[in-house]
Structure 1
Amino acid sequence: MAREIGDSAPGRGLSRRTLIKTLALTAGAVALAPASALAQTSHTDPPVAPPSVVTGRDFGPDADPNVYFVDPDVLTVEPEFNSLRQGNAPIQRLWTGALWAEGPAWSSVGKFLVWSDIPNNRQLRWSEDDGHVSVFRNPSNNSNGNTFDFQGRQISCEHLTRRVVRYEHDGSVTVLADNYQGKRLNSPNDAVPHPDGSVWFTDPPYGGQLYEGAPDAPGGPSNRSGLINSRAGQPPEIATYRRELPTNVYRWDPSGRLDIVVGDEQLPDP
């Protein structure tokens, strides 16, 4: 049975002097070993890769029905999330075919899911009634994040127009924010409503490219060389937009006031 150093019986233990002597001899042997031998031993085994968390399940149209009660592929990173997690809500694939699906938001009033297909400049909707997916809004101004406020109105972050809009129940559109202190927003990305009526949203520069919005005007922070043609395929009033603001998190107040709540210097790339 192995013994801990210092716990050995008298006469049979490993003394501190003996231990130091042994370590010194070992270190000397290593120092005198040929470099080629050390190189061989250091590359004998490749680094051990961390265990993969990628699921092997099939989410295709011909996959077996999902019979999980507690889905093993729903992973909790922060323990605080467990209090919000619904155990009987397994992962299911609803639809495929978007170039880039983003910004899913559930309407508890309409009982449907809406999301953005950014490069295709459209929003799609999945209906809970029959599982049907249809084009919900086209064009969508390359919308990214979507959400619904506490009155059931949809709020969308538009990359092309660099604004946050709200769709009213009568179908009209209200622009919540498109500038801060007279400077155009970058490309609002994600938004969340607050019970007090305010809307919080992020404003990174991701939408400043042709694939998902409008490129920054030549000379702007995201197009300093001017090699990206900001006018290609864009309306005249869009092509001249130039990035003027850092990446911030904003709070829009129902009075129309817009405040920075987290600045780029506090949380880069939110």
Structure 2
Amino acid sequence: MDRSIEKLIEQLWDSYRKINPQADQIHQLLSDRGETIVNDHIAFRTFQDPRIGIDRLAIPFLEAGYQAAGEYHFEAKKLYARHFQHIDPVLPKVFISELLLDEFSGEFRDTIQRMLDQLPDMTSLTQPLCTAGRLWEVPYADYEALSEQSEYAAWMAAHGYCANHFTVFVNALTTIDSLQALNTLLVNEGFALNQEGGAIKGSPEVYLEQSSTIASVVDVPFNDGVHAVPGCYYEFARRYCQPDGTLFEGFVAKSADKIFESTDKKLQN
């Protein structure tokens, strides 16, 4: 395995754990059962802007040998996404989505523009964009205003560039034989799951089942002080073989649409 991409994934994981305390707890829970956890995919969020869009975020992965695979449209959430994968099956897939700013109101776009106006010269950025963190300052009032139209945008305003979630590849578990069984274990251990569209999104018929925790609430500094907002969540994916016998490697937009809501503050109530 390319050591540079391995180091990048380790760096992303270390940052992610700080925004999702559940990650270490779930790892410990599964490790105590003798499991070795395989990561199915890492997801990132961004805005539709050539300086910070999907193409820019994908650079370190493409340089490491990843290739573009599927693309996905989320009309209700006004998102476009693509996923990338590596010929080495040990490396996780990468899922990058971007918010289509042109489809929002002028006031909403103005709020985003105030953030993007603070971007540094991206050509001088000394680290991969996906590890850069938040590149702007924002008042909590703007966060709240954005969340009225898009919890995705509000999450980006708060956290910026980091892994939005990692994903346990359920197929690789040896003591748990279904996503339902894993969900039951997690609920019994006190983890809250995203129930939007049902705890399990997808089905064997679409060759993919997914579930996720509700994002941990974390303290984030805004211009007017620290506020508690949704951070990151942990996803779980079980993949099924297609009629030709190959394992389905893509994503299902209808299911992913509901998974996105794991960071919605309404689920915290």
Q: Name the TM-score, length of structure 1 as normaliser.
A: 0.21
**If you compute each CA radius of gyration, which structure gives the higher value, 1 or 2?**
1
The structure where helix makes up a greater share of residues is 2
Greater RCO, CA 8 A, separation 6+: 2
